[in-house]
Amino acid sequence: MEVSIIAIGDELLIGQVTDTNSGWIARHLNPLGWSVRSVKVIGDDSEEIFRAIDDAFAQTDIVLTTGGLGPTKDDITKPTLCRYFGGALVHSPEVEQNVLEVLEKRHLKINTLTAAQAMVPSSCRVIQNKVGTAPIMWFEKNGKVLVSMPGVPFETEQMMEREVIPQLIKRFVTDEHIEHHTFVVIDYMESRLAMTLDDFEKQIPPFIHLAYLPKPGVIRLRLSGKHHDASVLHDEMERLSILLKQTLGNAIVACDDKPLAAIVGDMLRDRGMTLSTAESCTGGNVAHAITAIAGSSDYFTGSVVAYSNTVKHEVLGVSDDVLATHGAVSEPTVEAMAKGVAQLMHTDCAIATSGIAGPGGGTPDKPVGTVWVAIKCGDRIECECYHLPGTRDRVIDRTTNNVLCRLIKMLRDISPAS
Amino acid sequence: MEVSIIAIGDELLIGQVTDTNSGWIARHLNPLGWSVRSVKVIGDDSEEIFRAIDDAFAQTDIVLTTGGLGPTKDDITKPTLCRYFGGALVHSPEVEQNVLEVLEKRHLKINTLTAAQAMVPSSCRVIQNKVGTAPIMWFEKNGKVLVSMPGVPFETEQMMEREVIPQLIKRFVTDEHIEHHTFVVIDYMESRLAMTLDDFEKQIPPFIHLAYLPKPGVIRLRLSGKHHDASVLHDEMERLSILLKQTLGNAIVACDDKPLAAIVGDMLRDRGMTLSTAESCTGGNVAHAITAIAGSSDYFTGSVVAYSNTVKHEVLGVSDDVLATHGAVSEPTVEAMAKGVAQLMHTDCAIATSGIAGPGGGTPDKPVGTVWVAIKCGDRIECECYHLPGTRDRVIDRTTNNVLCRLIKMLRDISPAS
């Protein structure tokens, strides 16, 4: 089963908001054996919306739209849906009741604009939005279905899971099965990995596809298969997975699609080890990545973001001497930061970063992008200097990726506690 | 001038990668008076790409494509461009030379796959990619232009700025002017703001449009105007901006589109004040948001991510008594955390967070989403308890937004140092 997505909103076309709904929808439809054929992002423009719906229905039987439903005046989606599917905007007491309940939960009163949310096309079936005021609208035409949802990611995600996906499954049956296996690979650059997998790829049958999804320092390999016979598909996916593991060995650090921080977390938990971080240039981003993983309190005690040298000295115990002689961005400083935070927070492992993220602060001998990191893993401590290109965000992201990869490599050498 | 964007890549359609290129391109074309008409996201499929180009050229004279150019086998964009624009794939010594130079900078050797990057359609003019191995390809057909760029955001952004945008300006002249003014508004929910602006909106001429861009705790208002006479447009935009400021007063906390953390930073700098953070449930995300702003070292000294109670006690000086009596997620704890970190890091202001981000850790009296925060601003300290819906990420993001908004409100009451 294939689905088209239309994301509506001027804010998307001027780049003020990024469409994350489409990716979420794709990730949650794939397991059903459904795939997203295309995503069209358009503005709050009646003609554009009308044409986009026409084009989408020409390609797929299911069209999902997000956005264009806020209470304010810059939305014209509902009247356009009326024009496309017929009927007129009518007041729905059920929707008004739902709006009242949602606002009540937020201790807010209804006003004329939120009341306008209760106007819906007579040609649609309403699915009450339990987490927001914009109703979800289900339209049918010539055996095809369009579901209009709000643009707020939280609302779309909640209502897709609770109502829209289950109702779509009921409405459409599919005899095709999809299976994805994702492998997280380190130690390789993309092209060398591709050459290493040359023979492996010759073994892949036409109904299975291998994709390379490279990110700085790590490459995700995705096997996606599509077949009407679930067991045929599953057996072949298994065979290829085993073969891939044999080919790449411990360069594969995870056999499902999870963030580096989650891989680090699982490895720490398996080894009964704990982690803390001492961050200067990454400014808390490493700690944020680690604590974004549920259950990270099992192994993560905390972090000191030491932006000023005073904090590096007073809180982390980096000696004034080291700071004066070598500077904040140096091997002795990050080593002292890692040891200091491990001692302060009583952890087995520690990550320390200090660098010049830019755009300012560069010097001839330490230009913007110069980053020193130290990774403590048990008794071992390794330091490394990066020279990273690009913007401040990129330097912070790259450094975060790199230190997590580096810790994974060091943890790999320690066998899990039985 | 209007532009269509086509984002190519299976990874986009299964939601493994989010298309951020289109937003970046839009943000950088708008100031030229150019706007993005639509964005089409499609997979690595020759027919889809072919049709998408046709559809895009039917709507706009400029089409920008991103992605589908990696060195690995799952890319079929180049042959499709050959099919659409004619010619054949030919080897370009210049591109190979460029690939060699790029790899050399990364201390890497060329291999058969990166060498394949040097094959380009004879029908295109190559723009050398100085920051990556995939060449940028410029095609012309019936007075229309298509530029094919890599999917890696850093490469597309760099090459758009250095080469593609300047060359597009040279190639196309535009007599239409665009002006955007963005205002960051707090203290309002969307619908109440819309009612407050009812009279204001009546004053808006047809060539200017007001958009509401709501995010948790903050709403961005964007005035966008389009007119052939730059001065007419500018004068009208000025008049409306002044009127809007009169209408909303100090609910407008910024008159350009910048993140809350940048607004906090400017306000701190203007007042000669410093900030530190003590984070439990936000796990460093507040510090990350603040340090993502260039120059934040002027006012931000650091943060303690106190994930374990031991760290709350030993590093931040929260008394065991308070932790035992009230628990980690309580008003006395966050108040002690804020005071503790301000003292530890010698700052005027401090932000402290402690809550249950979920999915685990909830209790009947403190369910998931319960978050206590304390904001210290000079001698004032304010505590607040939130009950936030949604996922772990959302609780962390909402809390980060809320504490920054709250600090902005408190800083508003302190007059800037002259």
pLDDT digits 0-9 by tens, A382-407: 999 999 887 888 899 999 999 999 99
Which among B55, B66, B33 has a CA at the least distance from the CA of A42?
B55
Mean pLDDT computed over A185-194: 90
Last residue of a domain, one of A208, A238, A254: A254
Q: Which of B3, B6, B11, B14 to mutate to test the interface with A (most CBs of A within 10 A)?
A: B14
Q: For residues A392 and B263, give the distance between their C-alpha atoms in angstroms, rounded to a whole number.
A: 18
Measure CB to CB from residue B195 to each of A74, A113, A297 and give the nearest one.
A113
Last residue of a domain, one of B171, B197, B220: B171
Q: Cβ neighbours of residue A161 under 8 Å, at least 6 residues apart? A: A28
Q: Which of A96, A276, A303, A314 to mutate to test the interface with B (most CBs of B within 10 A)?
A: A303
Sheet bearing A177-185, strands edge to edge = A208-215, A218-227, A177-185, A252-254
Whether residue B191 contacts residue A113, with contact meaning beta carbons closer than 8 Å, is answered with: yes
Question: What is the dihedral angle through the alpha carbons of B94, B96, B101, B105, rounded to the nearest 10 degrees?
Answer: 150
Q: How far is B308 from chain A (nearest CA, A)?
A: 5
Whether residue A253 contacts residue A182, with contact meaning beta carbons closer than 8 Å, is answered with: no
- Contact residues on chain A for B52, CB-CB shorter than 8 A: 38
Task: Specify the pLDDT at position B174.
Answer: 66
| Coil, strand or helix at B298 | helix
Element (H, E) at A374: strand A370-377
- Contact residues on chain B for A295, CB-CB shorter than 8 A: 360
Q: Which of A11, A16, A48, A395 to mutate to test the interface with B (most CBs of B within 10 A)?
A: A16
Identify whether A418 is part of a domain.
no
Residue B312 CA: distances (Å) to CA of B280, B320, B333: 9, 9, 9
- State the Rg of chain A over Cα: 26
Residues A272 and A366 in one domain: yes
| pLDDT band per the 50, 70, 90 thresholds, residue A83 | very high
Residue A184 has pLDDT above 60, yes or no: yes
**B303/A308 CB distance under 8 A:** no
Among all residues of chain B, which has the CA nearest to that of A398? B154
Task: Return the axis-axis angle of helices B392-412 and B260-271, rounded to nearest 10°.
Answer: 30
| Coil, strand or helix at B8 | strand
Q: Which residue has the tokens 């720490």?
A: A268
Q: How many CB pairs under 8 A join A and B?
A: 312
Residues A204 and A271 in one domain: no
Of A101-105, A194-198, A241-245, A310-314, least confident by mean pLDDT is A101-105
Task: Specify the pLDDT at position A86.
Answer: 94
Mean pLDDT computed over A408-417: 93
Q: For residues B149 and B160, give the distance between their C-alpha atoms in angstroms, rounded to a whole number.
A: 9
Residues B189 and B312 in one domain: no
| pLDDT band per the 50, 70, 90 thresholds, residue A59 | very high
In tens, the pLDDT along B67-113 reads 988 766 556 899 999 999 999 999 999 999 998 888 887 777 777 77
| pLDDT band per the 50, 70, 90 thresholds, residue A341 | very high
**B214/A26 CB distance under 8 A:** no
Dihedrals phi, psi of A348, to nearest 5 degrees: -75, -35
Cα(first)–Cα(last) distance of chain A, in Å? Answer: 45
Q: Which residue has the tokens 């810790």?
A: A407
Q: Cis (ω within 30 of 0) for the bond into B150?
A: no
In eight-state DSSP terms, residue B186 is -
**B302/A314 CB distance under 8 A:** no
Compute the Cα dihedral for A21, A23, A26, A31 and give only its sign.
Answer: negative
Q: For residues B356 and B358, give the distance between their C-alpha atoms in angstroms, rounded to a whole number.
A: 5
In tens, the pLDDT along A209-267 reads 888 887 777 898 989 888 889 999 999 999 999 999 999 999 999 998 899 999 999 99
Identify whether A105 is part of a domain.
yes
Cα B140 from chain centroid (whole Å): 32
Cα B257-A19-B13 angle, rounded to 5 deg: 150
Task: Specify the pLDDT at position A209.
Answer: 86
**A38/B41 CB distance under 8 A:** yes
- Contact residues on chain A for B288, CB-CB shorter than 8 A: 282-285, 287-288, 396
- Contact residues on chain B for A360, CB-CB shorter than 8 A: 294-295
Q: For residues B387 and B372, give the distance between their C-alpha atoms in angstroms, rounded to a whole number.
A: 9
Q: For residues B176 and B166, give the distance between their C-alpha atoms in angstroms, rounded to a whole number.
A: 17
Measure CB to CB from residue B287 to each of A48, A190, A284 and give the nearest one.
A284
Sheet bearing A62-66, strands edge to edge = A125-127, A136-141, A144-149, A62-66, A2-8, A35-42, B35-42, B2-8, B62-66, B144-149, B136-141, B125-127
Whether residue B244 contacts residue B221, with contact meaning beta carbons closer than 8 Å, is answered with: yes
Whether residue B65 contacts residue B134, with contact meaning beta carbons closer than 8 Å, is answered with: no
- Contact residues on chain B for A70, CB-CB shorter than 8 A: 190, 212, 214
Whether residue A171 contacts residue A184, with contact meaning beta carbons closer than 8 Å, is answered with: no
Measure CB to CB from residue B211 to each of A24, A74, A286 and give the nearest one.
A74
- Contact residues on chain A for B30, CB-CB shorter than 8 A: 14-15
**A27/B14 CB distance under 8 A:** yes
Residues B278 and B241 in one domain: no
Residues A200 and A154 in one domain: no
- Contact residues on chain B for A195, CB-CB shorter than 8 A: 111-113
Q: What CATH number should be reported for the domain holding residue A193?
A: 3.30.70.2860
Cα A97 from chain centroid (whole Å): 35
Identify whether B388 is part of a domain.
yes
Whether residue A349 contacts residue A361, with contact meaning beta carbons closer than 8 Å, is answered with: no
Measure CB to CB from residue B131 to each of A210, A303, A389 and give the nearest one.
A389
**A286/B283 CB distance under 8 A:** no
Q: For residues A276 and B310, give the distance between their C-alpha atoms in angstroms, rounded to a whole number.
A: 13
Residues B344 and B290 in one domain: yes
Residues A339 and A242 in one domain: no
**B305/A310 CB distance under 8 A:** no
Residues A297 and A223 in one domain: no
Q: Which of B2, B27, B38, B203 to mutate to test the interface with A (most CBs of A within 10 A)?
A: B38
Q: Residue B74 has which token pair?
A: 């799952």
Q: For residues B260 and A87, give the distance between their C-alpha atoms in angstroms, rounded to a whole number.
A: 43
**Concatenated DSSP letters of A347-358:** -SEEEEEEE--S
Note the pTM of the prediction, 2 decimals.
0.80
Residue A75 CA: distances (Å) to CA of A44, A116, B195, B272: 6, 12, 15, 43
Residues A216 and A326 in one domain: no
Whether residue A33 contacts residue A92, with contact meaning beta carbons closer than 8 Å, is answered with: no
Element (H, E) at A131: none
Task: Specify the pLDDT at position B212.
Answer: 83
Among all residues of chain A, which has the CA nearest to that of B201? A73
Residue type, A93: P
Q: Cis (ω within 30 of 0) for the bond into A359?
A: yes
Dihedrals phi, psi of A204, to nearest 5 degrees: -85, 125
Please indicate whether residue A10 or residue B407 has the higher confidence score (pLDDT): B407
Identify whether A417 is part of a domain.
no
Task: Specify the pLDDT at position A74.
Answer: 56
Domain of residue A196, residue span: 177-254
H-state helical runs in B60-152? 77-85, 93-105, 112-116
Identify whether B291 is part of a domain.
yes
Element (H, E) at A171: helix A165-171
**B287/A306 CB distance under 8 A:** no
Identify whether B417 is part of a domain.
no
In eight-state DSSP terms, residue B124 is S
In eight-state DSSP terms, residue A203 is T
Identify whether A375 is part of a domain.
yes
Q: Which residue has the tokens 């035409």?
A: A141
**B304/A315 CB distance under 8 A:** yes
Residues B21 and B167 in one domain: yes
Residue B418 CA: distances (Å) to CA of A77, B284, B296: 49, 33, 20
**A288/B285 CB distance under 8 A:** yes
Q: What CATH number should be reported for the domain holding residue B148?
A: 3.40.980.10
**B113/A195 CB distance under 8 A:** yes
| Coil, strand or helix at B416 | coil
Measure CB to CB from residue B41 to each of A39, A154, A297 and give the nearest one.
A39
Among all residues of chain A, which has the CA nearest to that of B259? A16
Task: Specify the pLDDT at position B33.
Answer: 74
Which among A397, A403, A363, A398 has a CA at the least distance from the CA of A383?
A403
Please tell me the total count of domains within chain B: 3
Q: For residues B193 and B186, give the distance between their C-alpha atoms in angstroms, rounded to a whole number.
A: 10
Q: What CATH number should be reported for the domain holding residue A361?
A: 3.90.950.20
Residues A271 and A239 in one domain: no
- Contact residues on chain B for A279, CB-CB shorter than 8 A: 284
Q: Which residue has the tokens 């993502």?
A: B292
**Concatenated DSSP letters of B273-292:** --EEEEESTTTTHHHHHHHT
Identify whether B139 is part of a domain.
yes
- Contact residues on chain A for B389, CB-CB shorter than 8 A: 131, 154
- Contact residues on chain B for A131, CB-CB shorter than 8 A: 389
* Residue A169 exposure: Cα atoms within 13 Å on the Cβ side: 12
Task: Specify the pLDDT at position B209.
Answer: 86
Residue A73 has pLDDT above 60, yes or no: no
Q: Which stretches of chain B drop beneath a pLDDT of 50?
A: none
Residues A51 and A111 in one domain: yes
Element (H, E) at B181: strand B177-185
Measure CB to CB from residue A22 to each of B41, B286, B357 and give the nearest one.
B41
